[in-house]
Amino acid sequence: MKIETAVKKVVEFLENNPASSKEVIGTKTKVKGLELTNVLKALRKQERLVEDGEGKEVTFSVKAEAAPVAEEPVVEETEPVVKEKVKTGRNNDKYQFNGNSYGKGPLVREVVRQYVTGHPKVTTKQLKEVFPDELLHRFGIFQEESIARSLSGARDRYFFKEEHQIKLGDKKVVVVCNQFTAGNIIPFLAAAKKAGFKIK
């Protein structure tokens, strides 16, 4: 298979299946071994490859060709899963908060909701001081709905359901991002601890 053809197959697969392991890419695209190594090398050279994790746990995603902003590999979660740990290419660690078990995205949403419940007069600006956008590159921990829809593009990268929206003291409604990985949730956990929350 020509390298250009192999690259095209891998890129098409990763556009639809971000955060895939090397093994999954090989199985689904039939581009394996040295050929797959060369494809990943070519994508690195083009600065289109996004890698997350280390060793055998590393996952791969691709950036859009003309994307001006680097996109992190994502693990989308909508609701907590009952299983405590699933051995797949994705990190499904659970976090204990207030006696309940949460996946990464739902945990962040619940911590922000709890903070607002404890500080009913908090404004968007004040909440950004506790959970600044810098904690999650590109998307921010939360945004006003219109900004979140603009940042999301074709995919829902925030919890948009009405029951997940959070109303603040300045009457603005915000939505929490769901684009968390084992690596990029770490700054949020530190900010939550600083704000007085206990998460295990």
* Structure-token pair, residue 38: 């060369």
Whether residues 180 and 104 fall in one domain:
yes
Range(s) of the domain holding residue 18: 3-62
**Can you tell me the distance from the alpha carbon of 181 to that of 105, in angstroms, rounded to the nearest whole number?**
9
Whether residues 107 and 18 fall in one domain:
no
Q: In this structure, is residue 172 part of a structural domain?
A: yes
Where is pLDDT greater, at 45 or 163? Answer: 163
pLDDT of residue 73: 52
- Of 62, 86, 106, the domain-final residue: 62
**Is the predicted pLDDT of residue 49 greater than 60, yes or no?**
yes
Task: Indicate the range of 26-35, 76-85, 113-122, 186-195 predicted with least confidence.
Answer: 76-85
Whether residues 120 and 180 fall in one domain:
yes
Whether residues 58 and 99 fall in one domain:
no
Q: How many domains does the chain have?
A: 2
Q: Is the dihedral of CA 33, 36, 40, 46 positive or negative?
A: positive
pLDDT of residue 3: 81
Q: In this structure, is residue 71 part of a structural domain?
A: no
Q: In this structure, is residue 40 part of a structural domain?
A: yes
Whether residues 176 and 109 fall in one domain:
yes
What CATH number is given to the structural domain containing 56?
Answer: 1.10.10.10
Q: In this structure, is residue 81 part of a structural domain?
A: no
Whether the CB-CB separation of 19 and 52 falls below 8 Å is answered with yes
Q: In this structure, is residue 82 part of a structural domain?
A: no
| 98-154 confidence digits (pLDDT tens) | 888 999 999 999 999 999 999 999 999 999 999 999 998 889 999 998 898 888 888
Q: In this structure, is residue 67 part of a structural domain?
A: no
- E-strand ranges in the chain read 20-21, 49-52, 59-62, 95-97, 100-102, 142-144, 166-167, 173-176
Residues in the chain: 200
pLDDT of residue 90: 60
Q: In this structure, is residue 108 part of a structural domain?
A: yes
